[in-house]
Structure 1
Amino acid sequence: MSMIGEYARLTADEFARALRDPEWAGERVRELVEAELEGGGGEARCLDTDKAWHAPDFLLTRIGFPVDVVFGEESIPGAEDWGYTPPRCLTPERVRAAADALRATPVERLVEGVGPEDLARADVYPVVVWERGESLEYATAYYEALVPFFGAAARDGDGMLMWLD
């Protein structure tokens, strides 16, 4: 099995409820995922970063990124695992801070002076990808998807849930 990085945008009201009722949050996220799988139209409320989630975390941490956009900054009281981890979150204010910082951080800055061998040495998941010398584009493509996703969430005043599934 693989660990997949998952994200869900929730409106401010939904986010407040999710913090009080993690079981409801899980149901709401399943509804959002199903709606998108059925071609619900509109802007994406969910995003996954496949198995590349650890590489953006490594790259962002090394440059001192101000917001934890991979693991979130707060736990959700009472939340159980949604796969490999319980969901964590970013408040709407921290989503805005993340969106601003993401817009200001081009991919070139993330990967400057870094190659796949550095990720392999740091044991970045999935290590086998980096040991084979695969291009960092696998990770940076997902980073580039986070930029508009967080931008839309910030614009709409959304909170964010994230977890590994």
Structure 2
Amino acid sequence: MEFIVPITGNVKHNITLDPTVWIFDDRRLDLDIFFTKEFVERDEMEEYKEKMGKHWSREIMEGNTFPPTLKSEKRYEKDKMLTASFAIVVEPFIKNAEPNAGAKTFTLITKDNEKYTYPLAESANILFKFSHEGKPLREDGPVHALFRDGSNKESPIRNVQAIQVD
């Protein structure tokens, strides 16, 4: 099975997505908490500023050394990547393909040639699940499509192989 998802059609740039590298992407969403009340939508720029502020304050207070707490934080992140289920929002990838002015919809195409069509504006509400309990979706992947509201959490669109922008 190919582990790539091409974005083709009415776009300026055909893009090939590789879901196996998304585990390292900061935009990934932890599905173990995403559909719970504990999940809080985050602003990436604010989060970046907050991290930089904390790092700067730590350097001022402790000097340019890395205290032992950083090692344990990295270990926790590594363990989480090996055991959690993750997804990523589809919207930035479609935006990077730059749909042409006439493009109105995008279609998810599965291995069995089933097609699911949505308006381009809905791309922010569709997640691609790429990892289940720390493992890539080898059997019925490379990705599963989930709705942000969780309405198809139990029965996602499986075997998504391509995105066609129309």
**Which of the two has greater helix per residue?**
1
TM-score in terms of structure 2 length: 0.23
TM-score in terms of structure 1 length: 0.23
Compare relative contact order (CA 8 Å, sep 6+) and give the higher one, 1 or 2: 1
